Structure 1
Amino acid sequence: MKKIKLGVSTLEVPVIAVGCMRINSLSRAEAERFVRTSMEQEANFFDHADIYGSGTCEEIFADAVGMNASIREQMILQSKCGIRKGQFDFSKEHILASVDGILSRLKTDYLDILLLHRPDALVEPEEVAEAFDALESSGKVRHFGVSNQNPMQIQLLKKSVKQPIVANQLQLSITNANMISNGINVNMENESAINRDGSILDYCRLNDITVQPWSPFQYGFFEGVFLGNDKFPELNKAIDEIAEKYEVSNTTIAIAWLLRHPARMQPVTGTMNVERLIDCCRASDIRLTREEWYEIYRAAGNILP
C-alpha cells in the first residue's frame, strides 16, 4: 500500500482510509474478518465518527480487534465530532466530552486525528482553540482536521487554532466532482462553472491539507452508487473497458480515478464487503493515464469548455 504524508504532519498514512460507518451491520465474526483483512492489505487507517451507529460502531470496532496497546500501535485511528441531534456543536465543552466518549468506546488513550464534523454556524474559534490545546497537551489527540468545510471557515478557525489543519473530509466522486469541474470551467456560463465551495480543492493544495473524499462511489447525496447503475451507461462502459485493460474491477478504477489527481487525496471507503475492500486497496497500484482520467471524467457527463 502506497503512503502519503497527512497534511503538513510527519504522519505517514496509507492512500486508502477504511470508513467504519457501517460496521454495525456486521456480525462480530464478520467485523473481525473485515478489520483483519484491512490490516493484511496495509490499510490500517480507520475512519470513525461519534455519530456512527450512535457510537456503537466505535465499540464494535474495538471489540472486533480486541483492542490493546500492542494492536493500537499497529493502526491509525481517526474520528469526528460536532454533530448532535438537531444541531452542530463546536463548543469547548462538547468537543472535550465527545473525545472522552470516543476514546472510551474505542478503548484507547489517544486518537491520531480528530476532525470537526460539519461546520457549526455558532462556532467560536477561541473555544475550539482551547479544546484543541487541552486535547493536545493531555495527549488525547495528536493531529486535527475538519470535515465539509470551505476555505473561509478553515481560515476562521486558524485565526485562533495553533495546531495545523491536516485534513478536510469532503464529498467527492466521479459523479460528484464540482470542486474539480468549476476549476476546469473558469469563466464559462454553464452549471459546471458554478463555484459552490470557495475553491476548496485549490485551497487545500495550497495549504497542504489532505483531502479525504467520502462516498467515492455515490452519486447525489446518498442516492446510490454509480457503478453498475443503468443511469450511467456511458460512465460504466468507460470504467469497465479501462478495468479490463488493467485486469482489475470497476471498484478499483473508481478509486484509482481519485488517486490519479495530483492533490494526493486519501479516499475513504465505505464498503463492509471484504472482497470490495480488497478491490479498493488495489487502486494503490494503478496509475491511470491522463487520457483515461479525462475519458472517465467526460463519460460521467462532465463537460470540457
Structure 2
Amino acid sequence: MKVIQTALDHGDITTMPPLVLGGATINTQYNDDPAKLPLVEMLTYGFEHGVRAIDTSPYYGPSEVLYGNALEHIRDEFPRDSYFLCTKVGRIQLDEFDYSRKHVRFSVHRSCERLKTDYLDLVYLHDVEFVTMAKSIEALKELKLLKSQGIIKNFGLSGYPVDYLVYLTKHCALNEPEIGPLDAVLTYCNMNLQNTRLLEHWPKWKDDAHLKLINNGSILSMSLLRSQETKSFHPCSQELRRLATQAAEYSARNGVLLADLATRYALAKWIDKGSTVLGVSSVEELQVALENYWFVKDNGGQLNRQDSQLIEYIQDKIFGSHMNEVWQSGIEHPELN
C-alpha cells in the first residue's frame, strides 16, 4: 500500500497528516479489554504508511497509558520527532469536569508522563459544551501559558455543538487578548453521511476565528454508520438508529459495507480541509481505512459514480428529514441567545 507523504513541523500544526489515529476506541466503551488490542502493531503499520499522528485523552480510560507504552516499544524505529501527539484536558469522567487552571496544568504534565514525552503537539479542552464559557476561558488562558513555556506546541478545544464551538472560538480571537486565536478545533459527528453541519460553516468559521486547523472526528458517528449494532451509549434518537440500520441493509444489498461508504464520503468531503481522526481497533480496520483513503485520493478526492448514487439515496430517501438531526450535548449557554 502507498504511503501518505508528510513533512511534519512540530511548530506548525497545519502539517498534521490528513489521517490521525484516534484514542477513543482504546477504551472500554468500545473494547472490553483495551490492553489486549495490538497497539504496537497498529502504530507501526500506521506510522509506516504515513499516519503519523495520535489523538487521545485522559477521559479515554487507559488510552494515554497504553499509547505511551506502545510508543516506548517502537521509539528506536520511530523517534518522538517523527509523529504528532495530541491529547485533551478537562473531562475526567462521564459527568465530571475540571477546567481549573491548576488541573489543566496537572493534566498536561500527567499526559506527558503517560505518553513518555517532554512536549505535546496539540492539547484541546475536552467537550467545552459541558462547562460554562467562563470556565473555558480560564482553562484556555492556562493552555496559552503552557504554550508560551514550550510544554505544548498548539492549543484549542473540542466538542459537539458546532454553533457553540464557532461562538467560543470567535470570541477568543476577537475579545480575549490574553488568549487570542486558537490553533485548532476538533469536532465530532458533524461531517459524516448523516450530518454535514460542519460543511455549512466551512470556511467562514476558520477565517473568522483565525483558526489554523479544524479536524473532523467520529466519521462513523460513534458506531451509528456501520452494519453492526450501534453502541448502547450512543445518544441519538431511536428513530435515527432505525434509519441507520435501514441504510446499512440498503448498502449491503448493493454490495457495499455502510462503514466503507461512510468513510469514503467523509474523507472525500474533508480531504483538503483538515485532518480526519480514525477510530480503529485493529490493524485490519486501519488497513481498510487506508484503502478507502487511497480509493478517494486516487480519484482526485472525489467519490465514484456508484458511491455517489448510494449516498444520494441514503441521504434523501432513508435519512430524509433526519439528515443533520442532532442530539442534546452539554449545558445551556446563554451567550448564544
Normalising by the smaller structure, the TM-score range is: 0.7 to 0.9
The letter for the 2-side match of 1:260 is A
**Do the aligned partners of residues 74 and 169 (structure 1) sit closer, same or farther apart at CA in structure 2, a change above 3 Å counting?**
same
User: Could you say which residue in structure 2 is the equivalent of 1:133?
Assistant: 144
The letter for the 2-side match of 1:298 is D
1:179 pairs with 197, 202, 206, which one?
197
User: Could you say which residue in structure 2 is the equivalent of 1:255?
Assistant: 263
Is the 2:121–2:153 Cα contact (8 Å) retained in structure 1? yes
Alpha-carbon shift at residue 96 of structure 1 (Å): 1.0
The letter for the 2-side match of 1:89 is D
**Do the aligned partners of residues 105 and 228 (structure 1) sit closer, same or farther apart at CA in structure 2, a change above 3 Å counting?**
same
Equivalent-residue separation in structure 2 for 1:116 and 1:44 (angstroms): 22
1:102 pairs with 105, 111, 129, which one?
111
User: Could you say which residue in structure 2 is the equivalent of 1:276?
Assistant: 285
Paired positions, count:
277
1:64 pairs with 44, 64, 70, which one?
70
Is the 1:79–1:113 Cα contact (8 Å) retained in structure 2? yes
**Structure 1: stretches of 5+ with no match in the other structure:** 184-198
Is the 2:172–2:181 Cα contact (8 Å) retained in structure 1? no
Alpha-carbon shift at residue 171 of structure 1 (Å): 2.1
Is the 1:168–1:209 Cα contact (8 Å) retained in structure 2? no
**Do the aligned partners of residues 295 and 121 (structure 1) sit closer, same or farther apart at CA in structure 2, a change above 3 Å counting?**
same
Alpha-carbon shift at residue 241 of structure 1 (Å): 8.0
Is the 2:227–2:259 Cα contact (8 Å) retained in structure 1? no
User: Could you say which residue in structure 1 is the equivalent of 2:99?
Assistant: 90
Equivalent-residue separation in structure 1 for 2:18 and 2:103 (angstroms): 31
Equivalent-residue separation in structure 2 for 1:204 and 1:147 (angstroms): 14
Equivalent-residue separation in structure 2 for 1:3 and 1:242 (angstroms): 35
1:38 paired to 2:41: no
User: Could you say which residue in structure 2 is the equivalent of 1:301?
Assistant: 319
SS of the residue corresponding to residue 60 of structure 1 reads helix
The letter for the 2-side match of 1:236 is A
**Do the aligned partners of residues 27 and 126 (structure 1) sit closer, same or farther apart at CA in structure 2, a change above 3 Å counting?**
closer
**Structure 2: stretches of 5+ with no match in the other structure:** 28-32, 230-241, 297-301, 324-337
Instruction: Give the TM-score, by structure 1 length.
Output: 0.75
User: Could you say which residue in structure 2 is the equivalent of 1:211?
Assistant: 214
2:122 pairs with 113, 120, 126, which one?
113
Identity rate, percent: 17
1:153 paired to 2:161: no
Is the 1:2–1:15 Cα contact (8 Å) retained in structure 2? no
**Do the aligned partners of residues 264 and 238 (structure 1) sit closer, same or farther apart at CA in structure 2, a change above 3 Å counting?**
farther
SS of the residue corresponding to residue 216 of structure 1 reads coil
The letter for the 2-side match of 1:58 is E
The letter for the 1-side match of 2:45 is T
The letter for the 2-side match of 1:41 is H
Is the 1:227–1:251 Cα contact (8 Å) retained in structure 2? yes
User: Could you say which residue in structure 1 is the equivalent of 2:335?
Assistant: none
SS of the residue corresponding to residue 268 of structure 1 reads strand
Describe the superposition over 1:99-122 as per-residue Cα deviations: whole angstroms up to 9, x where unpaired: 011111111011111111111215
Instruction: Give the TM-score, by structure 2 length.
Output: 0.69
User: Could you say which residue in structure 2 is the equivalent of 1:22?
Assistant: 25
**Do the aligned partners of residues 124 and 156 (structure 1) sit closer, same or farther apart at CA in structure 2, a change above 3 Å counting?**
farther
**Do the aligned partners of residues 241 and 43 (structure 1) sit closer, same or farther apart at CA in structure 2, a change above 3 Å counting?**
farther
Alpha-carbon shift at residue 166 of structure 1 (Å): 2.0
Equivalent-residue separation in structure 1 for 2:21 and 2:134 (angstroms): 29
**Do the aligned partners of residues 273 and 41 (structure 1) sit closer, same or farther apart at CA in structure 2, a change above 3 Å counting?**
same
Superposition CA RMSD, Å: 3.5
User: Could you say which residue in structure 2 is the equivalent of 1:144?
Assistant: 155
Describe the superposition over 1:177-204 as per-residue Cα deviations: whole angstroms up to 9, x where unpaired: 05169x5xxxxxxxxxxxxxxx587524
